[in-house]
Structure 1
Amino acid sequence: MNRYYVDLHIHIGRTWTGKPVKITGSKSLTFTNIIEHARHEKGLNMIGIIDSHSPEVILEMESLIQSGEVVEHQNGGLVFGDLTVIPGSELEIYDEQCNGPIHVLCYMPTIAKMREFSNWLSGHLKNIQLSSQRVYITGLQLQKKTKELGGIFIPAHVFTPFKSLYGKGVNHSLTEVFDPSLIDGIELGLSSDTEMADQLGELHAYTFVTNSDAHSLAKIAREYQVIAMEEPTFLELQKALQGEDGRGVIANYGLDPLLGKYHKTVCANCLNHVPNDDQLCNLCGSEKIIKGVADRILELKTAATGRADRPQYIHQVPLEFIPGLGPRLLEKLVDHFGSEMAILHEVPKEALAQVVPEKIAEFIMQAREGKVHLAAGGGGKYGKIADQ
């Protein structure tokens, strides 16, 4: 069995003609730019591009196949050298049953299936060109269509305060919204980890995935997983999510939850930390309190212990969080060592120190070993590496 670096949640900012797809996404996030950056700069082996339902994106994928730059694998997925792309779509459901909005991820094995999915979606949303659009159907209907097309269905960033299954404070069980048997995995989001999520007993049945939700090229692979598969294809990914035939997630790599934007409960007005049961900010008096993921999970907790066979969740500090490591120095590192995966996992300190200042090399090593001190994030503001 082989090991592959996988990030399954990357947005497209613009089409190849410059039309917007993810409004908040970088203009540089075109399909072509993403696959080149993920392969050559990040060192990933498999990515999910989750705005692939947009008709112009489908045309771009088809053009790359016609030119021979990309090849469709017989077992699903688009092959670009040693990188495999899984076409996907992030969608928003919001109906009386689901108490949303809730974001979900739907992945298709081929361009033909994605085109069929896109054509079907166009009858159920207002703008098929754009990302994360609200679909005017139930979560159950979306699940069934995804499965009818041979797809993968994963609820997205399930604990974030906005647009997630558990985050709004209304839903207390996934059975209120979905058919549990039609869920292939659970995406944790940047403010939680395996230990936190495993406090919900109903999640013990599912594989946890950790993805970047990248809105810029730099954010790709800020979270990812290492997956054991025979080869990087859609079919193998399906088996890995189900833990079949020796396939499966070997390790999840993600932000320490303290670095996430919504880890702690804060005042939306002044970002002052607010105890979970307080209704007013004790600093500015505002009633706008954003509940943190940690407090929300404690409200939902149903299990004293987690699933025993979970893979290790490794807290990782993305290189962009390293103090003093700006874009130019990072580019210098990548040019020298080949990819961010190599810098994060393999390059020894002595070699790093030959390319960047000793202090930055030391920060990278401390981050790799989990020895940095962190200041928690909340209310939409990321945490950070604190002064040592």
Structure 2
Amino acid sequence: MKCAIRKVPMLANADLHIHSPYSMAVSGAMHPENLLSVCVTKGLHVLGTGDALHPAWQKEWEPFLSNEAGICVIPTGEIEDEHRVHHLILAEDFGQFDQLRDLLAPMSKSISTNGRPHVYLSGETIAKRAHDVGALVGPAHAFTPWTALFAYHDSVAGCYGSEKIDLLELGLSADSSYGAGIPDLAGVPFLSNSDAHSPQPEKIGREFNRIRLDGNLSVRRVLDSIRVGAIEANAGFFPEEGKYNRTACIRCFTHYSLKVAQQHKWRCPADGGLIKKGVYDRARELSRGIPGSRPPYFHLVPLGQIIQTVEGVSSPGTKKCRTIYDAFIAAFGNEIDVLLTIPVPEIRAVHPKVAEAIAALRENRVTLHPGGGGKYGTFSLI
């Protein structure tokens, strides 16, 4: 598959996991034109298609694989296995996903109808089939307590057997530090992706990877860089912002320590709701010894959410927020640069309160109120 040749720095910002309208609970506005437009606004150079096993979604993307925006489009997809573990797959072209669909079809009723199909095979077999067609594969949102590797297994081999994984996606409730001390993951590249279900700029690219490229931007070079672990940095939420970061009741969202949750046999004493083990506690259970070295992780809050917070309005989608957001894009080109590199005095010239908030984020002057049980965490600025 060819991408438009786009001269970018040797570093490319990539969001490799989104979904299409062919998956459940996904916006009907998730179409290639909208996605490419928001990539430019965000400052992304690479976007995964998501749901690449779905024939109709492939057809929608075909006219946009080479695009005027110069965004490199990579076929990606997610599969749920027989034990409900989700797997992220990256390939060079849709033909590989066609081959994979044929291999998996006998064990799936939804392979051609659901953007994220359920396949009645083990993680090991799915990974082997992905490797058979030349694709990369690894666990999606690996620490999430419902449909993830470490929700059901204590080790990589417990899910994938002898089959190698090429990557591990951290998920919104974890950063690199959560996996750095797990011996099983030594040498496995960590990815941070949005898993977006809508094309708003607060969703697309809310987590992304900064990938080091050997040459011009192309699908093959991006995949080769991931294959050898050339991840320069990860970026995304403070883990505490994730909705499953802490151990908590899934009804009333009351937080519990592991000890107390165990004493109550994982049922909330207030309302009888299930207490779900949080990503923070799960990662600590699995970690052993001194954490290994990992690329830096940039903790970010989407610009729209920052504007919403400092202006005290109900949503980043309000007219007031969008007007301020558009002023930043007009002044500086894209959101990622505003969050990470534009000098604070220049940001202040557009909006002083947003400038102070971004300065606080860069200096880690943030008070975090962790999420848990399915409720997102929040933050306040010091």
- Please tell me the TM-score bracket, short chain as reference: 0.7 to 0.9
2:212 corresponds to which residue? 228
**What is the CA-CA distance between 1:117 and the residue it aligns to?**
2.6
TM superposition shift of 1:173: 1.0
Structure 2 equivalent of residue 160 of structure 1: 144
More off after superposition, 347-356 vs 82-91: 347-356
In 2: Cα distance, 1:197 partner to 1:239 partner: 22
Q: Which moved more, 1:358-367 or 1:330-339?
A: 330-339
Report the residue type matching 1:296 in the other structure: R
Residue 85 of structure 1 is aligned with which of 63, 73, 81? 73
CA distance in 2, matches of 1:378, 1:209: 22
Q: C-alpha distance in 1, partners of 2:68/2:127?
A: 29
Aligned to 1:242: 227
The one-letter code matched in structure 2 to 1:306 is P
Give the letter aligned to residue 7 of structure 1.
D
Maintained 8 Å contact 2:176/2:297: yes
> Which of 82, 93, 115 is equivalent to 1:131?
115
**1:235 offset after TM fit, Å?**
2.5
Report the equivalent of 2:5. none
| CA RMSD, Structure 1 to Structure 2 (Å) | 2.1
How far did 1:251 drift? 0.9
Q: Distance in 2 between matches of 1:80 and 1:214?
A: 23
Match of 1:317 in 2: 301
AA of the residue aligned to 1:233: S
Out of 277, 286, 294, which is 1:300 matched to?
A: 286
* 2:374 matched residue in structure 1: 380
- Report if aligned partners of 2:124, 2:163 keep a CA contact under 8 Å in 1: no
Contact 2:128-2:163 within 8 A present in 1 as well: no
Alignment partner of 1:284 out of 256, 263, 270: 270
Separation (CA, whole Å) in 1 of partners of 2:37 and 2:146 = 31
One-letter code of the match for 1:160?
T
Contact 2:168/2:188, CA 8 A, preserved across alignment: yes
Q: What count of residue pairs does the alignment treat as equivalent?
A: 355
Using the alignment, how far apart are the partners of 1:80 and 1:130 within structure 2?
30
Give the Cα–Cα distance (whole angstroms) in 2 for the partners of residues 60 and 282 of structure 1.
Answer: 46
Report deviation, 1:31.
2.6
SS of the residue 2:75 aligns to: strand
1:144 aligns with 2:145: no
Task: Classify 1:70/1:240 alpha carbon distance in 2 versus 1 (closer, same or farther; 3 Å).
Answer: closer
C-alpha distance after superposition, 1:142-163 (max 9, x if no partner)? 1122112111112101100110
Cα distance in 1 for residues equivalent to 2:48 and 2:161 = 23
In structure 2, relative to structure 1, the CA distance for the partners of 1:352 and 1:143 (3 Å cut) is same
Are 2:101 and 1:118 equivalent residues in the alignment?
yes
Q: Distance in 1 between matches of 2:171 and 2:199?
A: 18
Q: Retained in 1: the 8 A contact 2:36–2:69?
A: no
Task: Give the conservation status (yes or no) of the 8 Å contact 1:272–1:283.
Answer: no
C-alpha deviations, 1:4-49, integer Å up to 9, x for none? 1111111112xxxxxxx122111111133212321x2111111112
Deviation at 1:80, TM superposition (A): 5.4
Distance in 2, Cα, partners of 1:283 & 1:148:
49
Matches within 5 A, 1:192-211: 192-211=174-193
Deviation at 1:347, TM superposition (A): 2.2
The 3-state SS of whatever aligns with 1:115 is: helix
Equivalent residues of 1:70, 1:80 under 8 A apart? no
Per the alignment, in what secondary structure is the counterpart of residue 237 of structure 1? helix
**Which structure has the highest helix share of the two?**
2
The match for 1:76 is none
The answer to whether the Cα contact below 8 Å between 1:363 and 1:372 also exists between their aligned partners in 2 is no
1:6 to 9, 14, 18: 14
Q: In the alignment, is residue 177 of structure 1 matched against residue 159 of structure 2?
A: yes
1:61 aligned residue: 61
Match of 1:28 in 2: 29
Residue 275 of structure 1 pairs with residue 251 of structure 2: no
TM-score normalized by the length of structure 2:
0.87
SS of 1:153's equivalent? strand
1:285 shift after superposition: 4.7
- Does the CA-based 8 Å contact 2:127-2:138 persist in structure 1? no
